Each structure stands twice: as structure tokens, then as C-alpha cells.
Structure 1
Amino acid sequence: MASWLEALDRRAQLRAKAGLTRRLRPRGATDPVVDLAGNDYLGLAHHPAVTVAATEALRTYGLGATGSRLVRGSTDLHSALERALADWFGATRALVYSSGYLANLGAVRALVRPRTLLVSDAHNHASLIDGCRLSGAQTVVTPHADVAAVEEALAAAPGRPAVVVTESVFSVDGDLAPLARLHEVARRHGALLLVDDAHAVGVRGPGGAGAVVEAGLAGAPDVVITATLSKALGGAGGVVAGPAELIRHLVETGRTFIYDTALPPAVAAGVLAAVELARDGDALREELADRAAAAVRHLGRAGLDVSTPAAAVVSVTAPGPEAAAAWAADCLDWGVAVGCFRPPSTPDTRSRLRLTVNVGVPRAEFDRALDVIVECAP
């Protein structure tokens, strides 16, 4: 009767032996830890304009959306947020989801037709990987940021509908995809380009509009943008932006949109306020870039293997999964929270700490946190 529980327990033991145990660590509202693990890059989650907008919407609309977007979940706040995001990204229309994960699942599935070929970067986020798998389409996984490999995959399938799937700033190492070159190759072969701009929105591009805008691809009819609203915008939810025909298709057929309860109106209001702050946040972006560069210098001088960040994600290689977990735990003991990425969260089986620069952290605390990371290094 309990054999399935025994099987689960055995698998947990194997994960523990491999150093892959994961645990929930609840934090309080007044957590004193220096946060270099969360994704609040611009420090907007606690900005007064954001919290006031969310509080007023909470008072007006109540706690939840009370239904899916097509039933009772759509409010004027959702519509205003979609208009603001479309304008920011230079897209015709945008559609807001309750999470970035669901936005990616929905976008990939919507672009698949009979015989579609998906060409997916090896370092893509799990949501894109799952989107490709669940779509049922043939998927070719190409080496990371390898434009020649993408072209080879497309050339091997002449006449077939195809979609090139990539992040802009990759979530593990924080490097930037060659978007302009990928688009050139995709267009030459009649393929679409789907870009998850989650880690670039608010951080890169004019007015923080993201890497797609920065690459000069805004409004291109063969480019689809997805993003989460939970990183530089400090909120929650996801978005798909692109041609009006795509958004209509998602509204009418997208299962992850149709059958999901809508983003709470208070969150939509807070994110809408955050968009306005981010668009006018050049000083925040300058400070973020300065801190990211300082982290690379400081950690590199200590002999650590550190990535060159394209935005706010700094990756530091660890000797292995157990060492990475111990390193992160030691940092936390000294009051510094860092991300700990181990297989299967890493696409190359390499374990690392992931530091996310947050300009809401006082600069002195940020600099001290870098010292702690060096001191705790295995």
C-alpha cells in the first residue's frame, strides 16, 4: 500500500547523496538578511508608489480577481497594464498572465502548427523547455548562443514552420543572447523568434524596455516577447507581447490563459506603477550596472570563477553541488542570502552561486556582502 511512498523516499535519499536536497526557508517581513538572491533588481517591490497603488487597489477590488480573465477576472487595471506593457515594448498588443511560467507555456504552444520545428537554446529556462515538450512539436536543442547551429537546424528542415526559442539575458549565467543575429537567421528561413525577455525588462534597452527593443526588433511581425513581471518590476505575473492576431489567438484558444484565475488586481496595479518608475529609472540602471561590475572585480580578484553579467545576474562557479549548498548556507549564517543553483536547475551540470544585484540594498551592505561571499568560499 505504501510502496509508492517508499519509492519517493528512496529517490529523496538519492538526491541527498548527490547533494541535491532542497528546502523551503520562510522569511519574515522584517528579515534582516542582505538579499542577493531575490530578483527585485531595481528595488521597486517596496517603493512607496508601488505599495500605495497596490494598497488602494486591494481596498477597492478585494484580495483576488475572483475568476479567470474570460469570466470575471479582467479589470480595468489588467487592461491598463497590458496597454502600458505593449507601448513599452513597442508591440501591437500584450496579454497579462498570472505567472511568467504560464506565459511561456502558452506562447510556445500558440506558435506551434502541424509539422512545426522548435529550435531551443540549451540554456533556456525550464518554462521554455516545458513549453517545447508540452507542445508536442519536434524540438532541436542547439548549443548555447550558437547562431550557426540554429541556422543549421533551420536549413535541415526547409519548408517547415519553425520557431527559434531563446532567452535574452539567460537566467543562470546572466549572459546576453545574440538577438539581432538570431533574428536575421530566423527571418532568412521564414521562422519566428520567441524571446523570453524576463531578465532584461527594466534593466536593458532605452527606458528599460528590454533587450528586444535594444536589438532593434521592437514591433517586428516575426518576433514574440514574453516576460515575467516579478523581477525588475518587483511584482508577479507574466506577459506575452506581439501582433494583435497572436493575442487574439491566445485569448480564444490558450489553455494557460483561459483556465487560470487572473492576476490579482492589486498586483496589476502595483506592477503598473512599477512600469512607470522603471521607464524613468536610468539612474537606477546606472547604479545596477556599476554594482554588477564591482561584484565581478571583487570576486575575480579573490580568484573566483565569475561570469560577466549582461544585466543583474552574476554567476560564481562552485566545486560541486554539496559545496555550493554549503557555501550558500555559510553566507546565510553571516546574513547574506545568495542563490544556489545545482542540477537540474543548471543546463550544464555545473553548480554555482547566483547573485542578483538589487539596488534597493544599501551600497555599504552590498559591498559587505561581497566580502562575506569571498570569506565563505570553499
Structure 2
Amino acid sequence: MSTGFYDFADQLTQLNQQGLYRQRRVIDGPQGILLQVDGRQVVNFCSNDYLGLANHPEVVAGFKQAADRYGVGSGSAHLICGHSSAHHALEEELAAFTGRARALLFSTGYMANLGVISALVGRNDSVLEDRLNHASLLDGGLLSRAQFKRFRHLDSLDLQAQLLAHTQRTLIVSDGVFSMDGDLADLPALAKLAQQHQAGLLIDDAHGFGVLGHKGGGIVEHFGLAVDEVPILMGTLGKAFGTFGAFVAGSDDLIEILIQKARSYVFTTALPAAVAEATRISLRLLQTETWRREKLQSLIARFRAGAQQQGLQLMNSFTAIQPVLVGDSRQAVSVSQALMRQGFWVSAIRPPTVPSGTARLRVTFSAEHDMQHVDALLEALGKVMA
């Protein structure tokens, strides 16, 4: 059909001309530093597998053993017959890991954020979010039907002004580590403002867990904050944990209200029990194998030093997310393609994921990388961005 509602050709052409067209690549084999992509081997610098656990032998073995015990599918939602002993054990261990009373598993991080925000606020409330929050947080705020406002990125003064202007019940929402910039929320300031104004505080620490803190406790451990200073904490399992899914941790009453009201929890099939069992193993490794975080920081430091020597424009990040600012979307795509031809997979990030004029290469590191991988990438960047 070439006319009417289904005529998408002009939209697709325009996206391509603007350098905003997105394409999938096909990989063959497990996640790792070396990937088979479209039939050739490349060094992977675009994965969120920060600790290299996605293909860890113990995690894989745990998954296989659990599949023999529980099968593949969970069969139903948690509130019907899909909540297994594996799910329950993982929730208890995640609660202990975060120092909170309880934790609740969600099938994805996107669904967790949609469910939590829309369950906790509504038409007579307000939601205040950092302008650079992840799309799932922004969408959750819009879906809630609360009065939705964004404050300037990392600007606590702007947030304070908006809190003073909103007299209704308010929820403050922020990423812990911002996924496209790699910088950190000013969590002490957010916690202080939330307490001063009797507002709720939700922190999405998807990119902080496993990476920040001596034991991988994320941004809360990094800043040394107490449980009551960050009452609602979300994390995903598909990044540093190396598996799949998400969780929300908090008080007993918080988890109970989410079980009752979070639509993306109530009306969704539970993630497979075998994934939960594999995650229990990755959670143990994440906490005990501190060398993974130490190595990651060494790799990041080496990359930043080399990139700065080359005059590359980096952003203010000491996390595994190291963006190299390019600016123009088409140029970012061109550089990414040139790197791929040299055997390095680095994603070009473009609007609407990032603001217009700030297209970038999003270089991400894993504890599985070695120093020679970093040096080789720096050499390739020097060639293609000269």
C-alpha cells in the first residue's frame, strides 16, 4: 500500500537524509568483547555488560541447571502462577544487597519505571524530572497523568524553584548515572531537597549498580547515603548483572503498593525463573569480585588520558560510559562506520536520544577489555577523527 496512513516512505527517506536512520546488526554467538557481527569479528565497545558477566561460565551453568528444574517459560504473571521460589529468593537477595526491606522484580527496566511512577502519582500530583532522564522515566511521568515538569540537567537550584512552585504531592525522579553522558546525579542535593519539601524520590541506578561503590552498590553506596535518603531505588539486571529484567527496592509498604497498583507488574508475564537463578549467581559475583570494578576504572582512566592527548572532546564521566562528542548526526554515523571497518563497534548516538547538535560516539567499557583493546581503539579514533 503506497498511499494514506501506511505511506511511510517519505518519513524514512527524511530520517536517512538527517543521519537519524537506525539499523540493526546481526551478531552470532554470546555477548563478549569479541563479537561476530554480520559475518566478521569486531571488538565490542557498545555493550552495557560492564562487568563481563553476560557469558560468565558460572552464570551460564546456573541458567542451564535452573532451566532443567523450572523449564523455559514462567507461565503467567507473578500474581497468578508465575512467581517461583527462584524469583522470591532473588527478590530477598536484592533487598539485602540494597539494604532495603524488600525488592520487587519487573520484566524490564522500562516496565519498572512506567509501573512505579504511574502507581505512585496521579492527576492531583506532580512529577519533576531531570531533563536528560532516560526515555522510560520521561514516559512514566507522562503516563502517570500527573503535572509533569522537567528541571535543567543537574541543576538543583532549578529543581528547588520548581518544588516551591508545586504545592501538591510531588515525586522527584532522576537517573543515577545518565546513560548517554555518563555523569552522575547530585544525589546528596536531590535527597536533601526531597526531605525539605516532603517529596518522594525515585532514582534509576541502572548504569550505577555493579560499577559504583566498593561492593557494587551503585550511586547510593558511592555517596554514602542512608536508606531513608533514597526511598525508591530502581535497577536493571541486563547491564552490570549480565542477565535480564529489573527490580525496585524500598520499604515493605512501597513494594506492597506496587504489587497492587503497578500495571506493568500486575499484567505482565514474569521473567523466566532460570533467569532469576542465573541472576542470583551474578549478584554474588558482582559483590565479591571487586577486581572487576578496579580493572574497569583502570581502563576508563587509560582511555580518558589517551583521548585527551588526542584532543577528543570527552564529557564529564568517570563511569563505564565514555561519550566522545561529535555534534553532527551524519558525521557521528560516518565515524562509527569507519571504526567498524577497522574492526571496532562503537555506537553513534543521535537525536532524539540526545539533544540536537550533540550527536556522539558512546564508548562503553567492560571488565573483559584489556589495555591493548583501549590502545587500539584510541589509535583507530585518531585516524578516523583526524
Q: Normalised by the size of structure 1, how large is the TM-score?
A: 0.96
Inter-CA distance 217–114: structure 2 relative to 1 (3 Å threshold): farther
Question: Where has structure 1 moved over 3 Å in runs of 4 or more?
Answer: 4-7
Q: Give the alignment partner of residue 76 of structure 1, picking from 85, 94, 102.
A: 85
Structure 1 residues 1-378: aligned runs within 5 Å: 2-4=2-4, 7-29=7-29, 31=36, 32-158=41-167, 160-220=168-228, 223-347=231-355, 349-377=357-385
Unpaired segments ≥5 residues, structure 2 = 30-34
How far, CA to CA, are the matches of 2:115 and 2:338 in structure 1? 39
Q: 1:60 aligns to what SS in structure 2? A: helix
Residue identity in the other structure for 1:284: R
The answer to whether the 8 Å contact 1:119/1:164 transfers is yes
How far, CA to CA, are the matches of 1:214 and 1:123 in structure 2? 21
Q: 2:8 aligns to what SS in structure 1? A: helix
How far, CA to CA, are the matches of 1:347 and 1:145 in structure 2? 15
The answer to whether the 8 Å contact 1:89/1:210 transfers is no
How far, CA to CA, are the matches of 1:5 and 1:25 in structure 2? 28
For residues 314-362 of structure 1, the C-alpha deviation after alignment (integer angstroms, 9 at most, x for no partner) is: 0101131111111111111111111211000114541000011111123
How far, CA to CA, are the matches of 1:278 and 1:270 in structure 2? 12
User: Between the two proteins, what is the percent identity of the paired residues?
Assistant: 34
Q: 2:317 aligns to what SS in structure 1? A: coil
The answer to whether the 8 Å contact 1:164/1:186 transfers is yes
Q: 1:163 aligns to what SS in structure 2? A: strand
Alpha-carbon offset, residue 218 of structure 1 = 4.0
For residues 64-112 of structure 1, the C-alpha deviation after alignment (integer angstroms, 9 at most, x for no partner) is: 2121111222111111111111111111111011111101111111220
Inter-CA distance 250–322: structure 2 relative to 1 (3 Å threshold): same
How far, CA to CA, are the matches of 2:26 and 2:156 in structure 1? 42
Residue identity in the other structure for 2:142: R
Alpha-carbon offset, residue 222 of structure 1 = 5.8
The answer to whether the 8 Å contact 1:97/1:257 transfers is yes
For residues 259-287 of structure 1, the C-alpha deviation after alignment (integer angstroms, 9 at most, x for no partner) is: 11111112111111111001112211111
Inter-CA distance 77–180: structure 2 relative to 1 (3 Å threshold): same
Q: Which moved more, 1:218-227 or 1:52-61?
A: 218-227
Q: 2:27 aligns to what SS in structure 1? A: coil
Alpha-carbon offset, residue 377 of structure 1 = 1.9
Residue identity in the other structure for 2:258: L
How far, CA to CA, are the matches of 1:260 and 1:33 in structure 2? 36
Alpha-carbon offset, residue 230 of structure 1 = 0.7
The answer to whether the 8 Å contact 2:76/2:269 transfers is yes
For residues 296-327 of structure 1, the C-alpha deviation after alignment (integer angstroms, 9 at most, x for no partner) is: 11111111101232321001011311111111
Residue identity in the other structure for 1:96: L
The answer to whether the 8 Å contact 1:61/1:266 transfers is yes
Q: 2:323 aligns to what SS in structure 1? A: strand
Q: How many residues align?
A: 377
For residues 119-148 of structure 1, the C-alpha deviation after alignment (integer angstroms, 9 at most, x for no partner) is: 100110000011011111111111100001
How far, CA to CA, are the matches of 1:329 and 1:45 in structure 2? 26
The answer to whether the 8 Å contact 1:194/1:223 transfers is yes
